[in-house]
Amino acid sequence: MAEDFNVTAYEVEGRVDYARLIEKFGIRPIDAALEKRIGKDAGELHYLIRRKIFFAHRDMDWLLTEYEKGNRFYVYTGIAPSGGMTIAHLLPFIMAQWLQARFGAEVLIQIPDEEKFLAKRDPNLTLEKVHGFAYADALNIMALGFDPKHTRIFLNTEYAGKLYKQAARVAKHITFSMVKDAFGFTGETNIGTIFYTSMQAVPAFIKSVEAGKDVPCLIPLGADQDVHFRVARDAIAKLGYPKPAIMHNKFLPALKGGAKMSSSDPDNTIYLDDAPEVVKKKVNRAITGQQATAELQKELGGDPDRCSVCQYYRFLFEPDDKKLAAILDAERNGTMLAGEHKADLAARINAYLERHRKAKERVSGSMADVMLGP
């Protein structure tokens, strides 16, 4: 039976059925019991979990058992730079920062500067260009409130002196057939892209290598990245390290609808450095852009799940559940006009981006301590 959606490491297409995704990936839903346990251990429950935006996991029960025994985990996540950072990129980092604050977790952030460089045919996407994006990403990440004493960020090509050796150990246990099936590689795939998943695997166990004992690892990630660890988790276990736990987030919808807000479609996306007028323009188009008729607009407006504006409140711009419910009700009941909605959302996004810009200024002085050099 053909799926009407497709989630791979390289693209997300169609309207994602997350229940089906859980089956396909062999992952588990974050159920009520696990939610409760996370809330108890953390002292509160993050809205991204409560709203099932982080909807699935691997081995969280094991991780929390270790934590409850006093064996702290570290958090590993990352971003592959290929252009400016968007608000959709923020989700795993918001979760990572919360985990750091609530569980006292060290955070390790990989910026795989080679990944998109290798995967994209664009001859203008040089490694030097990617490095520019990478350092901008690092600053954007630290502006989210990470503790600079307990957060480290590295670019793969700069930190390869530490990574490559461990990547070779992982790679020995991963055959071409395995990545061919998992990533859809062909004979035309270049050998850097084929090897790359080993580099993404390393930070999931490197703290165990360094400490000489098992250090649990938790990876918050967009669900499209799960494939890397479906491939690598067995290899990591074969090397004698604990398999990392994983928390999966859903994709922030594109402004004009669609599966995932992608940084390769600038008009469908809010960049962290978008100017206020640009944000207004994009949000305006999001609301009016996709619906051809007032009738259709009314129909979709009646279903907040299919309304991008509502989703933006839900994912990022209204963490208070009661206030969110009021907004969604107003959408559903038509008591708030589309124009009011879009103006309010744009104002919230712009306020967020303004705070973010100021936060970047504040943290820029600590970046040298945070970045792991060659």
Residues forming contacts to a copy of itself in the complex (CB under 8 A) are 114, 117-118, 127, 156-165, 167-177, 179-180, 185-195, 197-198, 374
Nearest approach in angstroms of CB 72 to a copy of itself is 28
Nearest approach in angstroms of CB 188 to a copy of itself is 5
Which residue lies nearer to a copy of itself by CB, 115 or 318?
A: 115
- Report whether 56 contacts 239 (CB < 8 A): no
Nearest approach in angstroms of CB 229 to a copy of itself is 15
Which residue lies nearer to a copy of itself by CB, 114 or 331?
A: 114
What distances in angstroms separate CA 216 from CA 66, 71, 122, 242, 267, one per listed residue? 8, 8, 38, 7, 40
Identity of residue 305: D
Which residue lies nearer to a copy of itself by CB, 175 or 333?
A: 175
Joined together, the tokens standing for residue 282 give 């994009």
Which residue lies nearer to a copy of itself by CB, 38 or 155?
A: 155
Which residue lies nearer to a copy of itself by CB, 124 or 186?
A: 186
* Cα separation, 20 vs 371, whole angstroms: 39
Nearest approach in angstroms of CB 26 to a copy of itself is 22
Nearest approach in angstroms of CB 152 to a copy of itself is 16
- Report whether 308 contacts 258 (CB < 8 A): no
* Cα separation, 346 vs 341, whole angstroms: 9
Which residue lies nearer to a copy of itself by CB, 194 or 359?
A: 194
Nearest approach in angstroms of CB 124 to a copy of itself is 13
Which residue lies nearer to a copy of itself by CB, 168 or 325?
A: 168
* Cα separation, 200 vs 260, whole angstroms: 22
What distances in angstroms separate CA 282 from CA 223, 253, 285, 289, one per listed residue? 26, 14, 5, 9
Joined together, the tokens standing for residue 311 give 């989703």
- Residues 189, 194, 198: CA angle, nearest 5 degrees: 165
Q: If you search the block for the tokens 């978008």, which residue do you land on?
A: 274
Q: If you search the block for the tokens 């080679």, which residue do you land on?
A: 114
Nearest approach in angstroms of CB 114 to a copy of itself is 4
Q: How many CB atoms lie within 10 A of CB 173?
A: 17
